[in-house]
Amino acid sequence: MQAKWFKHTLRFKTPAGTSRGTLRTKESWFIQLTDNDGKSGIGECGLLKGLSWDDRPGYEEVLTSLCQRINGGQAPKPEAYLQWPSIRAGLEMAILDLRNGGQQRYYSSGFTRGERSIPINGLIWMGDKENMLRQVEQKIAAGYTCIKMKIGAIDFEQELDVLRYIRGHFTRRDLILRVDANGAFTPQNALKFLDAMAPLDIHSIEQPIPAGRWYEMADLVTQSPIPIALDEELIPLHDSTRQRQMLETIRPHYIILKPSFTGGFAASEHWIEMAESLGTGWWVTSALESNIGLNAIAQWTATLNTSTYQGLGTGSLYTNNFPSPLYIQNGRLSYDENTLILK
């Protein structure tokens, strides 16, 4: 077996606003494994600058060392890269792809056979009020019945106006409404904002305060009129004991799994097992991966036997993405088995 890695810089069609700034490009790294028969498996190391746990010096050196070990005859072991979760995830993807024939068919299910689709939320990026309203109208026109709106970057009253507009036109039965604060509130003011949004039938709010403040988040969970979902809270936790400690301390209503951040599919399934044992719900979200990573994540998600709306479908954000077997129709993600991403 031979291994190599390469890098690709994705360019956003439209700058994407978050509470941490505006994104215009996104770098991704890829691991490609080739066996003696010429079959290749590929996996994406979905690092996100400023957020991923492994966004630190030495990243490419680790990738080079990994490939050298494989080229020297060592068997690749994703679990050896616990401290580099996106590399662990990319290696796991590449192994799965190669094992299943090297056709970017990471998992087989009714989804990859075109028999069923995955319900997904439509993502509303941060912007000025008019821009956000325009995005909402476009998503609803496209058939989405679940929308996630990022908040925390502009004046809260303007964001609240957008939420009111949505609820003024669509009841909870018609449209599920999620919000994502990306840690934009403080422990002191978070409850005030949550109380203001409560009459609008919000399904959940992701990460209302910054990660790492377990006891303050736990207090907020007990007081919040809106169910709380943890996102960034999971990123630095790669030890099973600490993961369970966090879940037992905070007792969130939901956790959100980004395989590129949590260390891949096996690691994410461990999170799911722990969450379900405590009565905590969950869903899967992509993390701005290219179509290569998104395809693998969607295929894995389809095997989890859940009907919950997932946070997938970001591939259309880029001008220079790879071809994709995924397509969205009426707010659902589907798979065209006749399309390969990378030959």
DSSP H stretches of helix in 278-343? 291-301
Helix, strand and coil percent figures for the chain, each rounded to 5: 35, 25, 40
Active site residue 150: yes
How far apart are the C-alpha atoms of 192 and 289, rounded to whole Å?
A: 34
How far apart are the C-alpha atoms of 212 and 232, rounded to whole Å?
A: 9
C-alpha dist (Å) from residue 282 to 87, 299, 331: 23, 17, 19
Angle between helices 85-99 and 59-71 (to 10 degrees): 30
Do residues 202 and 195 lie in contact, with contact meaning Cβ atoms separated by under 8 Å?
no
Structure-token pair, residue 282:
């969950």
- Which one is catalytic: 26, 139, 148, 258? 258
Q: Of 283, 198, 215, 210, which Cα lies nearest the Cα of 251? A: 215
Q: What is the DSSP track for 163-193?
A: HHHHHHH--TTT-EEEEE-TT-S-TTTHHHH
C-alpha dist (Å) from residue 129 to 22, 165, 201, 327: 16, 11, 20, 28
180 - beta bridge partners? 150, 206
Active site residue 258: yes
Residue labelled with tokens 């192994």: 95
C-alpha dist (Å) from residue 204 to 33, 69, 147, 207: 40, 44, 11, 10
Amino acid, res. 35: D
- Which one is catalytic: 26, 139, 148, 150? 150
Query: Within a 13 Å sphere around the CA of 190, how many CA atoms are in the beta-carbon half?
Result: 27
Active site residues: 150, 258
